Chain A
Amino acid sequence: MAALAEPSPDGRFGEFGGRFIPESLVPACKELEVAFRAAWADPAFHAEYEGLLRDYGGRPTPVTECRRLSERLGVRVLLKREDLAHTGSHKLNNVIGQSLLTRRMGKPRVIAETGAGQHGVATATACALFGLDCVVYMGEVDVERQELNVFRMQLLGAEVIPVSSGSRTLKDAVNEALRDWVANVETTHYCIGSVMGPHPYPWMVREFQRILGEEARTQCRALLDGRDPDFVVACVGGGSNAAGTFAGFADTSARLVGVEAAGGAAIGHGVPGVVHGMKSYLVQDEVGQVNEAHSISAGLDYPGVGPEHSHLSATGRATYVTAGDAEVLDAFQLLSHTEGIIPALESAHGLAWVVRAAGSDDLPSGSTVLLTLSGRGDKDVAQVRDLL
């Protein structure tokens, strides 16, 4: 199978993926797969999806050359600016796609999970645009540290339900959204926010994020006299901004690097497991209880990872590394000082690795790096102020 191609009919990327869900949800996942296949083969769907992302979402987002940062690090850093997309992150790409599908399937209600709140905000935004009912599940811990995004979602007309079970973060928000979906599947679409969950979500969400990587490849070639960057780097929570980015560069010679949070590093510290409908790397104990993740960044505070990343790691096409909270805070400030861009804490993980690795064998001096800046840091400013 070519890298970042279609999964097998049973939703596998190599040995990972699949559809490990209660029987009640199997028909809905099959219905979604049929709807997505038909839509993705339909030029009219593409025209509407791309048109909305252009005229409503502000795409294409630019690629910015970071002159001062590059000088400082000794590697040439280009940023793919998803922070400039509407709602402030790459999440809208996926949500516009899934909302159009929801409409095609005739479902009036959308549910979503959110960690940092960016996917929740994007979902609430698209539901406002399409006139859909919207409920967002969010762990209590995240409700507290992403207070402003909670208000944003409410302003957009969504109902935000705090989740008090388990670790009260993203993992538990997914559990609660799945429970809602089991009860309401006939009227409700579950808009999963990353390349995770049962088939077809990991594949579908990657396809809806592919636009990010394809734009970036074209933009890089324009900036680099037709060449591709040596390294393509993105942070990995569930892995959607990374998957979309990598999809644009899979058939180039660029080295693909995914950066997980040290406290939620499924590939870095986990072993294969099955949760939230998919087989993938998972941080868990020796008998299979899922561990709680602990990261400064709500969007990466997740013990699992999308199955395609597990596969890309197993085949060696992409490399996965980790970044810790302290170096992430440094990177957050560094980009703010040197380039006047305040990154999301999630995106700052990618930069933290670039800063650490620059000049080493992992990222030799003089290399060119495309880093996906998956979102803007406004949502994190209050939290960072308290941490500094």
Chain B
Amino acid sequence: MNELRRVEPALRAARDAGRKLLVPYVTGGLGDDWCEVVAAVAAAGADAIEVGIPFSDPVMDGPTIQEASMRALDRGATPSSIIAELSEVDAGVPLVVMTYYNIVFRGGHRRIARSLVEHGVAGAIVPDLPLDEFFEWGRAADDAGVETILLAAPTTPDDRLAEICARSHGFVYGVGLMGVTGERTSLAASATTMAKRLKAVTDVPVLIGVGVSTPEQAVEVSAEADGVVVGSALVRRLLDGGGPDAAAEFVGELRSALDGMGTTAP
């Protein structure tokens, strides 16, 4: 795969150039125009895009992404249809899928890993597959060349944090608060703490997600983090009837806010 389509080289390059990183999340298969949403979000300034492969029982997700997942499943979205459609999107930035472990387990570790690579998807996030159960998927992903992004949580002890960072490829996903995905009116104090703790133990790009909902919150946490993952706030706009334009507008606002930080660039 082209180095710029791989997550970690692309994010490191952007970070080294003084840019704060922005990874929006879009639920795959949500509406007929979801691929256009992905392309629009990329053009609006995303550094990589996380695409959800919907699962029937998304325990890390709050009402917004649950609803989006159900709508996508009702439209007939499947893991293979989403991966295949993604290969048609000319995003120009690395693509990462997010799905739950049963989809990977049922699909077959090696078969799923190969299929991602064949369709130009660089990485994967599997939120219910912690370090302790990571081995089988980790080996299949490494062999196929898929970058697996691991999650770290506010409750993770320091020694384990270092292990997670050592095993995470692409970036490290710091969970900003104790809770599931969903919009919050203010940034949790745990988000900044999480970013600081991760930055202290790793050189891999550190992105904070879950509960980062507004340009202001993105800026606030990026004072410590290398950047943010924004999911529910974007997906809610899509659920409310917004299409590629509305998505691009919101991502553009996030982008300008992050670019305006200036002073924290190295």
Question: Which positions in A face B, CB cutoff 8 Å?
Answer: 10, 18-28, 165-166, 171-172, 175, 178-179, 182-186, 271-277, 279, 282, 284, 286-290
Please tell me if the beta carbons of A18 and B59 are within 8 angstroms of each other in the complex.
no
Please tell me if the beta carbons of A27 and B157 are within 8 angstroms of each other in the complex.
yes
Q: How far is the CB of B160 from chain A (nearest CB, A)?
A: 8
**A25-B156 Cα distance, complex, nearest whole Å:** 9
Q: Using a CB-CB cutoff of 8 Å, which residues 146-198 of chain B contact chain A?
A: 150-157, 160, 164, 175, 178-180
Known interface pairs A185-B178, A289-B73. Does A23 touch B152 (Cβ–Cβ under 8 Å)?
yes
Known interface pairs A20-B128, A284-B102. Does A275 touch B153 (Cβ–Cβ under 8 Å)?
no
**Would you call B79 an interface residue if the criterion is a C-beta within 8 Å of the partner chain's C-beta atoms?**
yes
* Extra 18 A-B pairs, beta carbons < 8 Å, given A24-B154, A288-B102: A20-B130, A23-B153, A23-B155, A24-B153, A24-B175, A26-B132, A26-B153, A26-B155, A175-B59, A185-B178, A186-B155, A275-B57, A275-B102, A277-B128, A287-B103, A288-B79, A290-B56, A290-B102
Please tell me if the beta carbons of B156 and A27 are within 8 angstroms of each other in the complex.
yes
Cβ contact of A274, chosen from B105, B175, B178, cutoff 8 A: B105
List B contacts of A22 (CB < 8 A). 59-60, 127-128, 130, 151, 153, 175
List B contacts of A273 (CB < 8 A). 102, 105-106
Known interface pairs A179-B59, A182-B180, A284-B102. Does A23 touch B175 (Cβ–Cβ under 8 Å)?
yes
Chain A residue nearest to B81 in the complex (CB): A287
Q: Which of A10, A21, A276 has the most CB of B within 10 A?
A: A21
Cβ contact of A175, chosen from B57, B127, B154, B179, cutoff 8 A: B57
**A186-B179 Cα distance, complex, nearest whole Å:** 11
**A10-B131 Cα distance, complex, nearest whole Å:** 12
Cβ contact of A179, chosen from B62, B78, B79, B130, cutoff 8 A: B62
Please tell me if the beta carbons of B102 and A24 are within 8 angstroms of each other in the complex.
no
Chain A residue nearest to B180 in the complex (CB): A179
Please tell me if the beta carbons of B178 and A26 are within 8 angstroms of each other in the complex.
no
Q: How far is the CB of A212 from chain B (nearest CB, A)?
A: 30
**A21-B175 Cα distance, complex, nearest whole Å:** 14
Q: How far is the CB of A139 from chain B (nearest CB, A)?
A: 13
**A205-B57 Cα distance, complex, nearest whole Å:** 23
**Would you call B232 an interface residue if the criterion is a C-beta within 8 Å of the partner chain's C-beta atoms?**
no
List A contacts of B34 (CB < 8 A). none
List B contacts of A185 (CB < 8 A). 155, 178
Mark contacts of B61-86 with chain A using CB atoms, 8 A cut-off: 1 yes-contact digit, 0 otherwise. Answer: 01000100010010000111000000
- Please name the 3 residue pairs, one residue from A and one from B, whose CB atoms are nearest each other, closest first: A288-B106, A183-B179, A24-B153
Chain B residue nearest to A277 in the complex (CB): B128
Please tell me if the beta carbons of A178 and B59 are within 8 angstroms of each other in the complex.
yes
Please tell me if the beta carbons of A288 and B107 are within 8 angstroms of each other in the complex.
yes
**A286-B157 Cα distance, complex, nearest whole Å:** 38
Chain A residue nearest to B126 in the complex (CB): A20
Known interface pairs A165-B66, A275-B102. Does A171 touch B127 (Cβ–Cβ under 8 Å)?
no
**Would you call B25 an interface residue if the criterion is a C-beta within 8 Å of the partner chain's C-beta atoms?**
no
List A contacts of B57 (CB < 8 A). 166, 171-172, 175, 275-276, 290
Q: Which of A21, A179, A288 has the most CB of B within 10 A?
A: A288
Can you give 30 contacting A-B residue pairs, CB < 8 Å?
A: A19-B130, A20-B101, A20-B129, A22-B127, A23-B131, A23-B150, A24-B153, A26-B130, A26-B155, A26-B160, A27-B155, A27-B156, A165-B70, A166-B56, A166-B57, A175-B59, A179-B179, A182-B179, A183-B180, A185-B178, A186-B178, A271-B106, A273-B102, A273-B105, A274-B105, A284-B106, A287-B103, A288-B55, A288-B103, A288-B105
